[in-house]
Structure 1
Amino acid sequence: MVVFGLAAAAIYFNNWAVWPLYWATQGTMFWALFVLGHDCGHGSFSDIPLLNNVVGHVLHSSILVPYHGWRISHRTHHQNHGNVENDESWVPLPEKIYKSLDNTTRVMRYTVPFPIFAYPLYLWRRSPGKKGSHFNPYSDLFAPNERKAVIISSACWVSMVALLLLSSVVVGPAIVLKTYGVPYLIFVMWLDFVTYLHHHGHEQKLPWYRSKEWSYLRGGLTTIDRDYGVFNNIHHDIGTHVIHHLFPQIPHYHLVEATKEAKHVLGKYYREPRKSGPFPFHLFNNLVRSIKQDHYVSDTGDIVYYQTDHQLYKFPSTKSE
């Protein structure tokens, strides 16, 4: 009701004092919807697979996410978390791939705010060094028996795009941009901000693994819990991320209590998150610091840590004649 009220007020008054309130609120709600769809993908939303798929498609298609395409790649992420070679989400670049990127790509990838708008590009092209698309049923991401599901999700995505285009014809592109486009960008920022910080930005550098040094438990323990203040309940306690990675079948409404119990078992291997005020401003410092320092990992070694390219932000000076 709050979102609808802000939308109505913003459209009626068309006042720049109201629009930002609506954008921030609606974008945050889009992110909350994404998290529920994420639970559908894990099968933790319902015990009924069909219900998970129906609700997941409705929620994710409405925010331009191909449900099955992303669900499958996210499954790969969970199965290989912390693995340099096989992880799927925010995986570190090996030095060879990093140095093969042109300087403009490197600078944009490691300069705020560009990384927190990366999600749509990731859906289309994945990450550097990986091939395929979340929309292409013949992508390396998917097994042959998953192609039909990917086609269905891509068709739902196209239907949502068509609905937005039709709305632009009916009410005008400016209204669609203000009511949907800007909140969508806020949602993308939330998604990239949260998912990046669940695997990066700890005060101490955390290991990434290869080969025999990697295990499901070791990889899961490299994830990081975060406190998002007033947003914890709004986005369904997604900040309790360690227990989610170890046991992704746990519904979001049990993550907090499960984490409390798991602390006694994990002991020193659990990193207590820094408590936030109402708003998690301190996490922006973690984000910026990590993006400036965590650039690539060594091409060799089964336990590796992020390294820093100290030349990244040094541009050749030009002397005027």
Structure 2
Amino acid sequence: MKEPVLEEMENAGGYGNGFHGIDGKDDFDPSAPPPFKIAEIRAAIPKHCWVKNPWMSLSYALRDVFAVIALVAAAIYFDSWIFFPLYWAAQGTMFWAIFVLGHDCGHGSFSDNPELNNLVGHVLHSAILVPYHGWRISHRTHHQNHGNVENDESWVPLTEKLYKSLGYSTRLLRFTVPFPLFAYPFYLWSRSPGKQGSHFNPYSKLFSPNERKDVITSTLCWSVMAALLICLSYAISPIQMLKLYGVPHLIFVMWLDLVTYLHHHGYEQKLPWYRGKEWSYLRGGLTTVDRDYGMFNNIHHDIGTHVIHHLFPQIPHYHLVEATKAAKPVLGKYYREPKRSGPFPIHLIKNLVRSIAEDHYVNDNGDIVYYQTDPELYKSSLSKSD
């Protein structure tokens, strides 16, 4: 009788999908417990990388807000359909950059002052229609349970039973590009399939009773921003608001779904997900993937340098690159060097499309599982279109 892990690996597409190391050899098992402890990684990172400079963090926030305001001013001044596509791409990217800084506030890596973190976080996230505390709390759950099939919160694998319980149209939308890139607003309202709750509801299962006041505050801030956008739509016309805010917000959502998905999916070889006694904070974090976004690395605050961020979310974004470089000798093959990008990270489109087409569900049982493919999903789509 085969060992469960080996059987799971064969079901996932053969040994080559799971046991290839970064140098292409078959002798590295990414699911094996690492020969180092998280304390060793921590010790390798220079002490100054842990220092949070609120003035530096605020300078990044002011830089991004200034860029947003300047782009709006330019769009109003030029008011041309030739200029607007450039504006949409640039402004959507800046909305994403603002989200990342609000994300840092939620982690407490923006500063050591909780009041400052919450103030800046609310301003930045509310401006792009994200409920700051509601999302902060669920994202904390994601970090505390990364790589855990049952308890993770972000892009969690569907079990085979749950996958097969979904309607055909739901499955097809979830696993056909570009539809998954528009998932974030739906996730905020109702979470992922198989999970209940809303980021806006203080009585959601996402939150404990002592967090309800925070969630109410964030929902009110979100509502004020939504009301402001509606008022502006009446003042300057809905079409103008769609051009200035609506389309950039859609680009921002696409950035968010693309980046967060590729942090945990789409590596060249399949990576494990864990349950039960096999899961640990360290093993789950080591399934995270770093990505190179070319010219966007600095714009979106090195969020692609994600492995060390997942293990140590307290490290400010402006120290992540240095911290990662220091930690790599300890991580060894458990660190997967990102493929270098040109100015635009076009190479990542292939990773995204392949992963969404192949990574559909994991087994209902087993403490170490890998994504499997439903071979009938797209065949059914083709037969229905004929």
Instruction: Give the TM-score of the pair, scaled to structure 1.
Output: 0.97
SS at match of 2:379: coil
Q: Secondary structure at the match of 1:46?
A: coil
Alignment partner of 1:148 is 2:219: no
**Structure 2 vs 1, CA of residues 319 and 7 (structure 1 numbering), >3 Å: closer, same or farther?**
closer
C-alpha displacement of 1:221: 0.1
Give the residue type in structure 1 aligned to 2:253: V
- Which of the numbers 142, 147, 153 marks the counterpart of 1:77? 142
Does residue 169 (structure 1) correspond to residue 266 (structure 2)? The answer is no
Residue pairs, 1:236-275, within 5 angstroms: 236-275=301-340
Give the whole-Å Cα distance in 1 for the aligned partners of 2:107 and 2:68: 28
- Deviation of the 1:12 alpha carbon: 3.6
Deviations 1:249-288 (A, max 9, x none): 0000000000000001111111100000111000000000
Q: Distance in 1 between matches of 2:75 and 2:300?
A: 24
Task: Find the aligned partners of 1:299 and 1:247 in 2 and give their Cα distance.
Answer: 30
Aligned-partner Cα distance in 1 for 2:110–2:384 = 58
Residue 136 of structure 1 pairs with residue 195 of structure 2 = no
**What percentage of aligned pairs have identical amino acids?**
77
Give the Cα separation in 2 of the matches to 1:245 and 1:280: 22
CA contact (8 A) 2:67 2:94 kept: no
Match of 1:298 in 2: 363
Letter in 2 for 1:64: L
Kindly indicate whether residue 151 of structure 2 is the aligned counterpart of residue 91 of structure 1: no
Whether the 8 Å contact between 2:200 and 2:219 is mirrored in structure 1 is: yes
Q: Closer, same or farther in 2 for the Cα pair 1:318/1:263, shift >3 Å? A: closer
Gaps of 5+ in 1: none
Distance (Å, rounded) in 2 between the aligned partners of 1:203 and 1:217: 21
Q: Distance in 1 between matches of 2:212 and 2:119?
A: 17
C-alpha separation between the residues in 1 aligned to 2:243 and 2:128? Answer: 15
1:204 equivalent in structure 2: 269
Output the CA distance in 2 between the equivalents of 1:195 and 1:319. Answer: 32
1:113 corresponds, among 178, 192, 197, to: 178
Deviation at 1:169, TM superposition (A): 1.1
Maintained 8 Å contact 1:6/1:18: no
Contact 2:286 2:334 in 1 (8 A): yes
- 1:82-117 per-position Cα deviation (integer Å, ceiling 9, x unaligned): 000100000100000000000000000000010011
Q: How many residues align?
A: 320
User: Which residue of 225, 235, 238 maps to 1:160?
Assistant: 225
Is 2:283 the partner of 1:222? no
Cα deviation, residue 36, structure 1 = 0.3
- Residues 46 and 294 of structure 1: is their aligned pair in 2 closer, same or farther, counting only changes over 3 Å? same
Structural mapping, 1:31-50, within 5 Å? 31-50=96-115
The amino acid of 1:179's aligned partner reads: L
Where relative contact order (Cα < 8 A, 6+ residues apart) is larger, the structure is: 2
Q: Secondary structure at the match of 1:286?
A: helix
Q: Distance in 1 between matches of 2:133 and 2:384?
A: 50
Do structure 1's residue 64 and structure 2's residue 129 form an aligned pair? Answer: yes
CA distance in 1, matches of 2:232, 2:201: 26
Mapped partners of 1:29, 1:15: distance in 2:
20
- Which of the residues 275, 289, 310 maps onto 2:375? 310
Letter in 2 for 1:192: D
Q: CA deviation at 1:176?
A: 0.7
TM-superposed deviation, 1:4 = 4.2
Q: Give the Cα separation in 2 of the matches to 1:211 and 1:318.
A: 40
Matched AA of 1:50: E
1:6·1:21 contact (CA, 8 Å) conserved in 2?
no
TM-score of the aligned structures, taking structure 2 as reference length: 0.81
Cα distance in 1 between the residues matched to 2:208 and 2:254: 30
Distance 1:4 1:145, change over 3 A: closer
Q: Which amino acid aligns with 2:192?
A: S
Provide the C-alpha distance between the structure 1 equivalents of 2:311 and 2:154, rounded to a whole number of angstroms.
16
Taking the aligned partners of 1:43 and 1:12, their CA distance within structure 2 comes to: 38
CA distance in structure 2 between the partners assigned to 1:137 and 1:70 by the alignment: 12
Does the C-alpha gap of structure 1 residues 150 and 5 become closer, same or farther in structure 2, counting only changes over 3 Å?
Answer: closer
Q: Distance in 1 between matches of 2:376 and 2:320?
A: 42
- The answer for the alignment partner of 2:12 in structure 1 is none
Q: 1:18 to 1:298 in 2, by over 3 A?
A: same
Aligned-partner Cα distance in 2 for 1:317–1:26: 40
Contact 1:225 1:241 in 2 (8 A): yes
Residue 3 to residue 158, structure 1, CA distance change in 2 (3 Å): closer
